[in-house]
A and B are shown apart, each in its own frame.
Chain A
Amino acid sequence: MHVTFSPEELEFQKEIRAFFRDEFPNDIREMQAKGMELKPADQVRWQQLLHEKGWAGINWPVEYGGTGWTPVQKYIFATEEANANAPFIIPFGLSMVGPVIYTFGNEEQKQRFLPDILASNVWWCQGYSEPGSGSDLASLRTRADLDGDHFVVNGTKTWTTLGQHADWIFCLARTNTDVARRQEGISFILVDMKSSGVSVKPIILLDGTHEVNEIHFDNVEVPVENLVGEEGKGWTYGKVLLQHERANIAAVARSRYRMRRLRKQVSSSVRGATPMIEDKNYMRKLAAVEVELKALEYTELRTLAAVASGKAPGPESSILKIKGTEIQQAIDMLYLQAAGYYALPYVPDQYAPDFSDDPIGQGKETQAALRYFNFRKASIYGGSNEIQKNIIAKHVLGL
């Protein structure tokens, strides 16, 4: 039992560390440090830089241009990426539709879509949830009716993250209503957002941000070659994708980075106030989160070690999403409490890319509440934590 890296892994860590030290663009680093929103162009620039290194397809096999990294290498990369406070990679192309296409798509689809996904030339978004279908996703009603050489798509998708920037959307749509189980008859279909009949309506979240959208499909014609895999098997493919999503959502390395930064922040005085580290009640809460996070770090490592040795991950892997999001939200609350009154000014302009006035509050204080509000989503998306518990109860506990 040990958690030391091999000499090869240490060498790899050095390489990744050097990259984030030397090649992470300064302007993006600075925007990240100030908590500023990245413009889509900067987001793409960053992802393309990773692509040039050959590091865009972290989970992808080598034959499709992926890294082919071992689980330990992926862990090292995620840790260094978090420690550099680098932008999150937008998951819809690289982590979601890409793996579905190289796993279930045909040769033509692989050649047509994968290179642009890998190079972040095309911005993808996800069409799963619908106004009437949240946790009960299989009740979805968006239809794709076959009409000669194309489908006619009608329906509404919602909570579509960053759909306002998207070039393409991958959708679960019903292609057959005459089925024994609702999970059957659902297909995985790729739709060009420029198609006639696609419209995007913004949804503003509680923190005032435009992050998600509602997408309407009104008699949208989609060529049959945009169906991935078999007609009616989309539910199965979609579930595979959700497993990728859940591993990302845990964001353990990011939480570790945020806790370290918080410890630093509370150790020093803001505006001459007594440092929070002197507040025993606060520090007890902080320490309790650190304990849970350390446990989760090792839960993740145990999962990685199991996968690396060719075993299926044990029950410990299934708790990552639940515990990971609970911890993210607990950290949000710690930042919020540390900010005191200065959590209250609602000054989102301060975090817009072109802000140049005197800011209110120090550092990212006035972002603490907004982040706290925004990340209530973490225990809801990717299958709410209650749905996760249903899944674990059924598949792990056999209830």
Chain B
Amino acid sequence: MDFSLNEVQEMLTDSIDKFIENDYAFDTRQEYASSDSGYSADVWNMFAELGWTAVPFSEEDGGFNGDQVDIMVMMQCFGRGLVVEPFLANVVLAGGILKRTADAGQKEKWLQPLIGGELHTTLAFTEPQARYDLSDIATTATADGDDWVLDGNKGFVLNGATSSLIIVPARTSGLPGDADGITLFAVPGDTPGMSMNAYHTIDGLRAAELTLENVRVDAGAVLGEIGGGFAALDATIDDATMAISAEAVGIMHVLKDKTIEYSKSRSQFGVPIGSFQALQHRMVDMLTACEQAQSLLMWAAMTCASGDGDAKRAISSIKYLVGTSGQLLGEEAVQIHGGMGVSWELDVAHYFKRLTAISQLFGNADWHLDRLAV
């Protein structure tokens, strides 16, 4: 039994923490978040140079063979820094599909430059009507000679407008809701017929609504087997759910620490507000929520990485917990910060907003609890 980090994980934690401490102050983060692309291209290139973008890929793909525990460690750090660079869209989502489905030629064409930081990619994992049902795919792909023609709508494509390659799950047979008949296509963002309506998100990130109208790709765009794309999509979203849960736990620790610190420095009625029992007990509850989430996160990541045990149950458990006690912790952090907690100026509000966004992603707490309540 051992809960300590291994050498590689220690190194990753140290280097990401140092980067955030030295080069990623909150004001800098805000500047990147409000830039045209919504993140810093220089920072992203640095992620690639340091090998952070290579972690979850196999050695033969040029990666470090990292597993869910390694990604957990990294995402907790990114959460603490409120990092806006598109690690989730590129490495976890698009990378997750490519590593599972791409053939050698496709990997060379797309995965290598993704790891190198040159190619920005994303995964169009949902549709406007689908809510959290991954198999509710109405976008169609119709064979036309050697080509495929795609039509339909994708919702909430993370970093869609800055991605040169978009992985589009489309239906080649069956009906929305069927797991069978889903095929994954790698579609360059500038393909005729692709139109993107981009927007900011509540947590300072970027996403887009994507319309595909008569989008023509050749057979080389097909990732994996025709009609058999669901398994890779499902496994990738599982990884992504783990990843953002880890990010959420990182955020929870920061919000807890900042709230305790604030309660010691903010005086009312002539004493620090942290001396009030009504607030002390709530901050103890915040500590409890953090430690419980940290424990469950480690269990979930180890369960996923070990390959034995019920990974789906583990993932739903942690996502449910961060969506309930994590969300409550965020509300408490804002409440105890008082007026400062609801101001744009203070970082606390932005951690809270990211936590709220994570609660909504890849199945909210109710959705995951329903998966457990059987």
Contact = CB atoms under 8 A, between A and B. Distances in A.
Given A287-B373, A288-B320, A399-B263, A296 B292 contact: yes
A219 B292 CA distance: 50
B135 interface: no
B373 A280 contact: yes
Interface in B250-280: 260, 263-264, 274-275, 277, 280
A222 B369 CA distance: 59
A364 interface: no
A316 B288 CA distance: 8
Interface in B304-327: 317, 320-321, 324
Interface string A386-399: 10011011001111
A360 interface: no
B340 interface: no
B356 interface: no
B373 A1 contact: no
Contacts of A292: 292, 321
Nearest to B282: A389
A2 interface: yes
Contacts of B74: none
A72 B281 CA distance: 31
Contact of B294 (A280, A306, A316): A316
B69 interface: yes
A323 B4 CA distance: 24
A294 interface: yes
Nearest to A283: B373
B291 interface: yes
Given A290-B372, A305-B2, A389-B281, A323 B264 contact: no
A331 to B, nearest CB: 16
Nearest to A326: B288
Interface stretch (B207-215, B295-303, B347-355): B295-303
B1 A392 contact: no
A393 B260 CA distance: 10
Contacts of B48: none
A397 B284 contact: yes
A393 B281 contact: yes
B344 to A, nearest CB: 28
Chain B contact residues: over half helix, strand or loop, or mixed?
helix
Interface in A150-192: none
Given A1-B298, A283-B373, A399-B260, A305 B284 contact: no
Contacts of A316: 291, 294-295
B293 interface: yes
A199 B275 CA distance: 43
Chain A contact residues: over half helix, strand or loop, or mixed?
helix
Contacts of B1: 2-5, 72, 301, 304-305, 308
A322 interface: yes
Interface of A: 1-5, 72, 277, 280, 283-284, 286-288, 290-292, 294-299, 301-302, 304-306, 308-309, 315-316, 319, 322-323, 386, 389-390, 392-393, 396-399
Given A1-B69, A393-B280, 15 more contacts: A1-B4, A3-B302, A5-B1, A283-B374, A284-B369, A287-B373, A291-B320, A291-B372, A292-B321, A298-B298, A305-B4, A393-B284, A397-B283, A399-B274, A399-B275
B296 A291 contact: yes
A316 B292 CA distance: 8
Nearest to A322: B288
B295 A386 contact: no
Contacts of B275: 399
B281 A315 contact: no
Nearest to B373: A283
Contacts of B296: 291, 294-295, 298
Interface in B1-30: 1-6, 9
B373 A284 contact: yes
B264 A398 contact: yes
B299 A298 contact: yes
A315 B293 CA distance: 13
A308 B3 CA distance: 11
Contacts of B298: 1, 298, 302
Given A284-B373, A291-B317, A399-B283, A319 B3 contact: no
Contact of A397 (B2, B277, B287): B287
15 contacts: A1-B302, A288-B320, A291-B320, A291-B321, A292-B292, A294-B296, A295-B295, A298-B298, A302-B294, A304-B1, A305-B3, A322-B288, A389-B285, A393-B277, A397-B283
Given A5-B1, A302-B3, A305-B1, A396 B287 contact: yes
Contacts of B263: 399
B264 A294 contact: no
B295 A296 contact: yes
Point out which of A277, A288, A322 has the most chain B C-beta atoms below 10 A from its C-beta.
A288
A203 B283 CA distance: 36
B68 to A, nearest CB: 11
Contacts of A5: 1
Contacts of A286: 373
Contacts of A299: 291-292, 295
B60 interface: no
Contacts of B324: 288
Interface string B348-373: 00000000000000000000011011
B295 A298 contact: yes
Contacts of A304: 1
Contacts of B320: 288, 291
Contacts of B284: 322, 389, 392-393, 396-397
B293 A397 contact: no
B273 to A, nearest CB: 10
Contacts of A319: 287-288, 291-292
A398 B283 CA distance: 11
A288 B292 CA distance: 13
A82 B311 CA distance: 26
A313 to B, nearest CB: 11
B333 to A, nearest CB: 14
B6 A1 contact: yes
Given A298-B296, A319-B292, A386 B281 contact: yes
A306 B3 CA distance: 8
Point out which of B284, B299, B369, B374 has the most chain A C-beta atoms below 10 A from its C-beta.
B284
Pairs A-B, 3 closest by C-beta atoms = A298-B295, A287-B372, A283-B373
B293 A295 contact: yes
Nearest to B288: A319
B124 to A, nearest CB: 31
Contacts of B294: 302, 316
Nearest to B277: A390
B293 A1 contact: no
A179 B320 CA distance: 52
Nearest to A392: B284
